[in-house]
Amino acid sequence: GAGVSQTPSNKVTEKGKYVELRCDPISGHTALYWYRQSLGQGPEFLIYFQGTGAADDSGLPNDRFFAVRPEGSVSTLKIQRTERGDSAVYLCASSPKGLAGGGGNEQFFGPGTRLTVL
Amino acid sequence: KNEVEQSPQNLTAQEGEFITINCSYSVGISALHWLQQHPGGGIVSLFMLSSGKKKHGRLIATINIQEKHSSLHITASHPRDSAVYICAARYNTDKLIFGTGTRLQVFP
């Protein structure tokens, strides 16, 4: 079956522009996670959805970052007024239940979107 | 300060060697994950454990809750094991806090 997919795989943009990154989780997975990984670092948590609602958005670095999951499936991470420091690989993961469903589930990762802000 | 620490940061080995990667975390967790990341970024979950030990093929993961420490072992290492290995701690909010990873290179 299909795994987690992310589009685009690469995105190059100019400083100040707006970008949207898309994540398609595994069908039926209720929990969806966004992470950001800078070069040479481990991923860092951004936001976690349980269904349509953001259960924890404590990792979003500032109000330029926003994410939605309107139908509880596909999610879009939106970055306004991009800055060079936003350059990173943005990873999405999904899991069958997440904490609300009992937690403790394995997370399945997508291939990531490499964002470069010039 | 990162709440998850890994060592070593880089590790090289000859094919066949036994490999250990260590992970320590600063406060109580609900589970500890070990992940493998290949060049190009794809991440695969290897283990999720909250106590004791798990084994899958040549990979073994252990965790000591009292010591707040986990280890990933690879027996009879092979060049295809070359990757970045990341431990991640799951706290009560279900989000993962990641270590910085251990880059492993196994030479034939």
Among all residues of chain A, which has the CA nearest to that of B32?
A104
Residue of A41, A44, A99 with shortest CB distance to B94: A99
Identity of the residue numbered A21 = L
Kindly report, residue by residue over B58-107, the tens digit of the pLDDT: 999 999 988 999 999 999 999 999 999 999 998 776 778 899 999 999 99
d(CA A23, CA A4): 7
- Percentage of chain A with pLDDT > 90? 81
8 A C-beta contact, residue A112 and residue A99: no
Q: Which helix (H) or strand (E) holds A32?
A: strand A31-37
What is the number of residues in chain A?
118
Q: How far is B80 from chain A (nearest CA, A)?
A: 19
Partner-chain contact B45 A109, CB within 8 Å: yes
CA B103-B104-B108 angle, 5° bins: 150
- Interchain pair B45, A45: CB under 8 A: no
Q: Which of these, A60, A62, A67, A88, lies nearest to A20 by C-alpha position?
A: A67
Identify which of B44, B94, B99 has the shortest CB distance to residue A42.
B99
Residue B10 CA: distances (Å) to CA of A75, A104, A106, B6: 35, 29, 26, 10
Per CB distance under 8 Å, which residues of B are interface residues toward A?
A: 4, 30-31, 33, 35, 40-45, 48, 50, 86, 88, 90, 92-101
Distance from CA of B92 to the nearest CA of A (A): 8
pLDDT in tens, A8-42: 999 999 999 999 999 999 999 999 999 999 988 88
Nearest to A111 among B33, B42, B88 (CB): B42
> What pLDDT digit, counting tens, does each position of A42-61 carry?
899 999 999 999 988 999 99
Average pLDDT along chain A = 91
